[in-house]
Amino acid sequence: MANCKNCNTGFEFTEADKKVHEKMNVPPPALCPDCRQQRRIAFRNDSNYYRNACHLCKKPVVSIYSPDKPLKVLCPDCFWRDKWDPLEYGQDFDFNRPFFEQYAEMRAKVPRLAIFNTQSENSEFTVHSSKNRNCYMGSSLVDSEDVHYSDWAFNSRDCMDLLFCSRMEMCYECVDCQECTLSNYLELCSNVTESFFAFDCRGCKGVVGCVSMRNRKNHILNQPASKEECMKTIQKLKTDRKFFQEFKEKFEALKARLPKRESWFTNAENCSGNYIVDSKNARHAYNIKYVEDARYVYDSHALKDCFDVTRIGGGEMLYDCKAGVDLSFAKFCNLVYQSDNTAYCDNCHASHYCFGCMSLKREQFCVLNKKYSEADYKKLVPKIIDHMKKTEEYGEFFPVELSAFGYNETKAMEFFPMNKKEVLKKGWNWSDYEVPSPKNIKTISADKLPDDIKAVPDDILNWAIICEATGKPFKIIPQELKFYRTKGLPVPKRYPRQRHLDRVAHQNPRKLYDRKCGNCQKPIRTTYAPDCPEKVYCEKCYLTTVY
């Protein structure tokens, strides 16, 4: 048992963990798994977009960095072209100073890409995304079209408000779903169509308010109904908010009564964690797909031999990395794409054998953005690592105080919320920047919105809606109004960020607890805490119940 240097709680460092660290040639971690995850995602801004200006061409650019930050941002055109050379900011390594001090000094001078979205059309307000068309306000969107206000949506079309979904079409407010169409308010569903309110349903059509159903048609609250009754109920849910709320309460009561599976796995072998698909030997893993031989892995896919990683798409032999794509043999890296054999690099692309670098493109054998011969690089890096071990820096991700964002701008605020006083006490950053609000704009209280979308006038686009949960104003965009009209759905009463947080709250905490199966009493490990009221079954008992 080790003690976390951040939260001072004890955490397991098992023999299996020890073997991983030996394999990766890194010392034991100083922080517990939660604090390590918190530190990584404190470097990720998914949901705050700003108007900034390109450092080179001076043109306006959408950026994840607010204009009050002392950072040089580049528009995609200037960043990817050879209009500037990141090696101009290179510096020698000083063995009389700590590494992170030198790295921070160098990094502050180097321009960076304003926002990460590539090979996309009309999708400027997306981040960490690629190959999209007509998408807006989304993170981790890939191969999608007309998808808005979503996080982690792959191969989807004409959807709104998705979280961890793939191959969806004409769907709204869905969490952890795949291959669903023409449906709303789904959770943990697959191959579901023309449905409204469903939890863990598969191969179903026309189900309304149903839980844990397989290959069924036309059911309401798990009871058989005619197709006409189902369609009539769905129509009323769309146009009568009072009925919607009453029905939702019945649906939630049904969910509470029926047993839950110990972990939500699909084709997972020797795995622990939750929301795991098509994976093997993944331990302490959450929201992953196509992962093999990994530990402490979050929100990632297509990985092998990866440990302590977050939001990686395609990787092998990675340790303590965040936001990488097609990355291999890397340690302590952030936003590094199509690269290998890198360590302590940030915002680097198509680069190899680099250490402590920033914003490199198609480079190799660089340290602190200074280029070396292969022989000199291989002599220098081991010396730097030995120096970092003496200063107790090596083996840990970048310190949170080096994040380019205020803590309140980052993904960490979702999973590890803190107030400003707590953040500043730790010496971390907090952002007080506020996006300027339009002047003299009309407002309307959310409770004044018509229930029926047909009664909503076109000029609603010119109004700001006051969120019923937070009192914050928000606007709807033309493509959003078109979506609601096509689907027959009412205009939402909550602003987009709050709707995202509501979806996140549907997922279980990322912690494992010891319980016993509520049916056979077999010991299980689950994300449902022992004091949770849910009936939790082992996999065998649960599948026997639903099939």
What the block records as the tokens of 383 is 């010396």
- pLDDT tens figures, 520-536: 999 999 999 999 999 99
Q: Whole-angstrom Cα distance, residue 478 to residue 457?
A: 12
Report whether 112 contacts 359 (CB < 8 A). Answer: yes
What the block records as the tokens of 159 is 């959807």
Q: Whole-angstrom Cα distance, residue 157 to residue 486?
A: 14
Residue 480: Cβ within 10 Å count? 20
Residue 314: Cβ within 10 Å count? 17
- Report the share of the chain in percent with pLDDT over 90: 95
pLDDT confidence band for 518 (50 / 70 / 90): very high
Residue 438 has pLDDT above 80, yes or no: no
Of residues 145, 176, 149, the one with CA closest to residue 160: 149
pLDDT confidence band for 437 (50 / 70 / 90): confident
What the block records as the tokens of 137 is 């306000």
What the block records as the tokens of 58 is 């001076």
Of residues 17, 11, 61, the one with CA closest to residue 31: 11
| pLDDT computed for residue 59 by the predictor | 96
Q: How far apart are the first and last CA of the chain?
A: 42
How many CA atoms are closer than 13 Å to the CA of 19, on its beta-carbon side?
A: 7
| pLDDT computed for residue 368 by the predictor | 98
Report whether 408 contacts 422 (CB < 8 A). Answer: no
Residue 323 has pLDDT above 80, yes or no: yes
What the block records as the tokens of 462 is 């010119």
Measured at the alpha carbon of residue 301, what is the angle toward residues 298 and 305, in degrees to the nearest 5? Answer: 80
- pLDDT tens figures, 481-516: 999 999 999 999 999 999 999 999 999 999 999 999
Q: State mean pLDDT over 71-95.
A: 95
C-alpha distances (whole Å) from 438 to each of 442, 444, 462, 475 are 10, 15, 11, 11
Per-chain mean pLDDT for the chain: 96
Q: State mean pLDDT over 91-118.
A: 96
Residue 2 has pLDDT above 90, yes or no: no
Q: Whole-angstrom Cα distance, residue 510 to residue 298?
A: 9
Of residues 336, 351, 368, 395, the one with CA closest to residue 101: 368
- pLDDT tens figures, 375-425: 999 999 999 999 999 999 999 999 999 999 999 999 999 999 999 999 999
Q: Whole-angstrom Cα distance, residue 417 to residue 401?
A: 16
Range in 89-93, 165-169, 341-345, 457-461 the model is least confident about? 457-461
Amino acid (one-letter) located at 417: P
- pLDDT tens figures, 125-176: 999 999 999 999 999 999 999 999 999 999 999 999 999 999 999 999 999 9
Q: Whole-angstrom Cα distance, residue 143 to residue 450?
A: 35
- What DSSP designation does 419 have? -
Of residues 46, 38, 41, the one with CA closest to residue 64: 46
pLDDT confidence band for 439 (50 / 70 / 90): confident
Phi/psi of residue 531, each to 5°?
-90, 5
